Amino acid sequence: MRLSHLTGRPWENRLPVGVGARWGCAPQRWSASEHGAFADGSGWNGVIERLRADGYPVVAPADPLRGPAADAAALRGVLAHIPGPKILVGHSYDGSVISLAAENDPTVKGLVYVAAFLPTPGESALELMNKYPGSTLPGALDPVDSPLPEGTRTTDLYIQDAEFRHQFAPDVPADQAALMAATQRPIARSALAEKATAAAWKQKPSRDIVTTQDLDIPPAAQLLMARRAHAHITRVGASHSVAVSQPARVVRVIEEAAEATR
């Protein structure tokens, strides 16, 4: 998602934007967005459709969900193929990833966090989630022990099917939430404990959508992170799946971020 070539004219002259767990965009091209934990790129469909209708090309590549350092490296590979200025958008866990991937990247002109983590170096997503009461995520998780090619093992975390809608998307229609549960991508348990090594929000203008009915990241924790980042805050009465339940609100913030970096 990104920056300066925005005008009211057709998309060729507009800044590419990214949606979802994260994304990048470039003038006269497209934007790349990645999902966070327990989701996939389809969770950004409503946002992508609206951004494209407004002239912003968007792409939503898969997030490996292995850890901020590895996932940021994968994101940088995507961004390297998108010329020009960009705005990065991160949802949930992926806030940690865009905060690292955008560090010292002059083509990233702004950051948008959506119900996301904004860690400072030395902090982990797990630590921030537990900073305030209110998250019921631990009790809804389904850990799966998986072998790795090198002979070691890892633990992947899913949300239990029976708990998914209540935990992740209570403001999404039941049939749609059931599809989201079936297509969710797991996150490595170690990814949530991995400490941040960079915070691009210290260098770049940021906007933060704080979801006041969130059962994953407590709203108080979201506000703490947004305020210390001096982010422009938009409070939305929504669950963690705000991009699905209220895509128009998310699009408005993303487009405001792009306009502000003209």
pTM of the model: 0.89
Q: What is the pLDDT of residue 165?
A: 98
Q: SS3 string of the chain?
A: CCCCCCCCCCHHHCCCECCCCEEEECCCCCEEEECCCCCCHHHHHHHHHHHHHCCCCCECCCCCCCCHHHHHHHHHHHHCCCCCCEEEEEECCHHHHHHHHCCCCCCEEEEEEECCCCCCCCCCHHHHHCCCCCCCHHHHEEEEEEECCCCCEEEEEEECHHHHHHHHCCCCCHHHHHHHHHHCCCEEHHHHHCCCCCCHHHCCCEEEEEECCCCCCCHHHHHHHHHHCCCEEEEECCCCCHHHHCHHHHHHHHHHHHHHCC
Q: What is the pLDDT of residue 67?
A: 97
Mean pLDDT by 10 residues, the chain (262 residues): 29 41 41 72 92 84 92 93 86 95 91 96 97 96 90 94 98 97 96 97 96 98 98 98 97 91 79
